Structure 1
Amino acid sequence: MSGTAANLAEIAAMVERREVGYSLEASFYTSQAVYDLDMRAVFGAHWLFCATEAEVREPGDYVTVEIGTYSLIIVRDDDEEIRALHNVCRHRGSRLLEDPCGSVGNLVCPYHQWTYRTDGSLIFAEGQSPSFDMAKFGLRQVHVRTVAGLIFVCLAEEPPEDFDEVAAVIEPYLTSYQLTEAKVAHQTDLVEEGNWKLVMENNRECHHCDTSHPELITSYFPFLRYSEEDVTPRMRPIYDRYLAATENLDNVCRINGVPRELVHELDTRPTGFMIMRLPLDGDGASFGPDGAQVCRKLIGDLTHPQFGDLSLHMQPNSWFHLLSDHAVVFSVLPLGPDRSMVRTTWLVHPDAVEGVDYTIEGLTSVWKATNDQDRALVEKAQRGVTDPSYEPGPYALVEDDVESFINWYVRRLHDYLTPHHEHAEKLGRLHAAASQ
């Protein structure tokens, strides 16, 4: 059996023996073979959040995105459609664009000047034979979908078919924020020295928030999975505030005709997701001190600041927080078995003025601090899983969304590996028979 087939067989065995409710074996977080498989079975096969429409507002505006060894151009074409194109010239393969973002009239290869429209069609190729058909050499397209201003791409030839169903559920939650018209106020890229799954596991729970995120927790109530019987006398005043904030949020949602219900499908479909609206403490508006606004101008068409936190999780690589005054969107892209890039983008109303309605420091300070704290935690976890003494440990009851993420991930590997493993075993049997 070839080395690649042997690696797949070994990973398949790890998938099969994964114990429900426990973290993964060390190789899932450290192995180059597992990382390579992740890039094929997960990042090469599923819908990935990569950018917002606010980043490509005008025709010709683009961003480039690196997904493993792939480079993509996300661009708004001359008809104002969002396109996703492979960043590879069809002549001799040169990279077309190097900058992370910008604006172009046409896409011109820097090597031999093959020229493409922003929809990917080839319009100039010097020195070709009379029979050369430019229509056959446009840039290769990538599947792309937009949902209420969020841009998703899929590298697979046949993307998961449930995306339309998911979009139909989440779009009514997002519409009021009008992200298609929003403005990018700030964006950061943070490299974390940890496997992408550790980044996502850390995000999928707040079990660590009380001790690790002092800036963030001032806005949140600690009762997400509490019942009234769990509330101690010391916590009763906070719980009473929580009940009042919950009732107020219910009323605001009802008056504004927006959905309020939790939808939790993180591990029950290929395009796993969860969406919920949480009441906030204090002013109940945003991530400022005691829940205060961080932007004076409310986002979208919202008229009430106490709109809570609309929290959206999408498998495998993104999460979103939408407040009454701004939105924060996050994407994670693997850089290697033990390195990941976390991109954070802050969006505000297009008419919000920096220095008048908000400051960059005031808008971003909570999540800049939280991201850096999470970076340190992920890096500690990465060092831990590389220790020979590491073995999978049990998730706490409040870490059920971590279990959902891992369950979703393991199912993706299982579905991908099953035909490959069976094929490898068949080749092994044929090879053994031929050598007898």
Structure 2
Amino acid sequence: MLDVTQTPLKALLKRRRPGYCLEAPFYTSPEIFAADMETIFQRHWIFVAVEADVPEPGDSTVVDIGGTSVVIVRDDDMNVVAFHNVCRHRGARLVHDYKTSVGNLVCRYHAWTYGLDGQLLYAEHMGDHFDTACHGLKKVHIRSLEGLLFLCLADEPPADFDVMADLMTPYLAPHDLRNTKVAFEMDIIEPGNWKLTMENNRECYHCAGNHPELTVPLFAEGFGFAPEQLDEAGRQQAERYACLVNDNHGAWEASGFPSRCLEHLDDMVTGFRTERLPLDGDAESHTLDTKAACRKLLGRFNDPKSGALHFWTQPNSWHHFMADHAVTFAVFPIDAEHSLLRTKWLVHKDAVEGVDYDVENLKAVWVATNDQDSTLVGYCQTGARSPAYEPGPYSPHTEMLVDKFCNWYVGRMTDAHGA
């Protein structure tokens, strides 16, 4: 058996076989994990939060990407800005709470005080010649895509974010995410490398046998299938589904809701995919009874039966937008074998808990699905540690988007490491 545990990253990238899983060190090696953090998470646009996390001036939220801590704040002009969460005096962490509301940003160590624009306002005992203008907080690139917040830690972020934004804005705008609130959020630590979490999300080959709550309103045909293995009834169902997708796309787009598939998962630096898909039967939303979880609909929607828009971004997010609520997912690597999955449920900002929506009903499907997926990711992580592990082939019918995620990852790492 070929020993890959000591194979250099450059060689592993060069011999990656398209259509197959990555080799084990990509999931287990601390050295490759460090390269991932430097190459992927320090240089690309990372989905981190939503504008609803900081609804009012002075509201802030802290995001940790590896060893880099960033504070996102709503300033007095209602702009969303981001700074490295490091005091310019002696490097103390500036904001300690995940979410808080402040008048100014005040360091707890020596009370250096910064305005919401990051400028240093006050630093006692620094002498007559100390220039506060030279000691403001260091800015971080931040972009809002219709209320979805992305950070880039690089000095020069990828310019093609604008391409994604131009294409995605018409899809997202009808949901009016800037006028939502976070009804519930949860963090879960998955026992697997961040790439396994992402790969698991990029297919539904596993869904029918593992996600009974999620699959109630979803068409099996939407997961992908092998046409040559269908019987006559299966072919008729597949044809019905294809017609339903086409008909719904036409109707939704005529109503001002762009729906047709846009896919740039492995041909852009800022890779993404989107499509609005119908839900089965009379389903309205991702809930246990498939009915709308919130009576107050989002944005321009007046019909709860408007399908579900999905939006995926490389390297770390996926999202589901219905007429009544939205769910966002962000993956943050912890170490080579653990990842944090952060999930947020958004409803209309004026929706009243207990009147317009019930939190338990709102979150039930994805709480269950996240827990199930975490277990599955753990199975794969355990397997990757085995000396018997070797990359297996992806299904060309149900795992083609996993392959595109790996293509994107290998391409970005290759560009950086010269394989």
Instruction: Report the TM-score range of the alignment, normalised by the length of the smaller protein.
Output: over 0.9
What is the Cα deviation at residue 254 of structure 1? 3.0
* Structure 1 letter corresponding to 2:231: T
Residue 258 of structure 1 corresponds to which residue in structure 2?
A: 257
Distance of 2:281 and 2:100 partners within structure 1: 40
Structure 2 stretches of 5 or more lacking a match?
none
Distance (whole Å) between structure 1 residues aligned to residue 372 and residue 245 of structure 2: 29
Instruction: Judge conservation of contact 2:227–2:235 (CA < 8 Å) in 1.
Output: no
Instruction: Indicate how the Cα distance of structure 1 residues 77 and 152 shifts in structure 2: closer, same or farther if over 3 A, else same.
Output: same
Q: Helix, strand or coil: the match of 1:343?
A: strand
| 3-state SS in 2 of match to 1:412 | helix
**Residue identity in the other structure for 2:13:** V
Gaps of 5+ in 1: 1-6, 422-436
Letter in 2 for 1:43: F
Does 2:28 match 1:30? yes
Flag the structure with larger Rg. 1
Deviates more, 1:402-411 or 1:215-224: 215-224
Shift of 1:291: 3.1
Cα offset, 1:243, TM superposition: 5.4
TM-fit CA distance, 1:88: 0.3
1:123-272 paired onto structure 2 within 5 Å:
123-224=121-222, 225=224, 231-235=230-234, 238-239=237-238, 242=241, 245-246=244-245, 249-272=248-271
Structure 1 range deviating more: 85-94 or 7-16: 7-16
Mapped partners of 1:135, 1:232: distance in 2: 72
Q: Provide, for residues 61-98 of structure 1, a one-character-per-residue CA deviation record: whole Å limited to 9, x for no partner.
A: 11101100001101111111111110000000000111
Q: Which moved more, 1:72-81 or 1:368-377?
A: 72-81
CA distance in 2: counterparts of 1:323 and 1:360, whole angstroms: 16
Structure 1 counterpart SS, 2:38 = helix
What is the CA distance between 1:252 and its match in structure 2? Answer: 3.7
Contact kept, 8 Å, 1:121 with 1:135, in 2: the verdict is yes
The answer as to whether partners of 2:288 and 2:361 remain within 8 angstroms in 1 is no
CA separation of 1:200 and 1:284: change in aligned 2, threshold 3 A: same
- Name the structure 1 match of 2:405: 405
Deviation larger for 273-282 or 254-263: 254-263
Amino acid of the residue matched to residue 29 of structure 2? Answer: S
Correspondence list, 1:112-123, <5 A: 112-123=110-121
Q: 1:243 to 1:413 in 2, by over 3 A?
A: closer
Q: Which moved more, 1:350-359 or 1:199-208?
A: 350-359
2 CA distance for matches of 1:179 and 1:92? Answer: 38
Provide the residue aligned with 2:308 in structure 1: 309
1:91 aligns with 2:59: no
8 Å CA contact retained: 2:259, 2:309: no
Instruction: Name the structure 2 match of 1:368.
Output: 367
| Deviation for aligned residue 1:239 | 4.7
TM-score (norm 2): 0.95
Q: 1:167 to 1:124 in 2, by over 3 A?
A: same
Higher helix share: 1
Aligned partners of 2:340, 2:105: CA distance in 1, in Å?
27
* Deviation, structure 1 residue 45: 0.3
Judge conservation of contact 1:332–1:343 (CA < 8 Å) in 2. Answer: yes
Taking only the aligned residue pairs, the percentage that are identical comes to 48
TM-score by length of 1: 0.91
Partner-residue secondary structure (3-state), 1:102: strand
Task: State the SS of the aligned residue for 1:297.
Answer: coil
CA distance in structure 2 between the partners assigned to 1:75 and 1:230 by the alignment:
53
Give the match's secondary structure for 2:220. Answer: coil
- Asked if 1 retains the 8 angstrom alpha-carbon contact of 2:287 and 2:364, the reply is no
Aligned ranges 1:31-110 → 2 under 5 Å = 31-110=29-108
Tell me how large the CA RMSD over aligned residues is: 1.9
Indicate if the aligned counterparts of 1:281 and 1:290 stay in contact, CA closer than 8 A.
Answer: no
* Rounded Cα–Cα distance in structure 1 between residues aligned with 2:239 and 2:34: 50
Instruction: Give the drift of 1:334.
Output: 0.3
Count of equivalent residues: 413
Question: Residues 249 and 276 of structure 2 are in contact (CA less than 8 Å); yes or no, is this contact kept in structure 1?
Answer: no
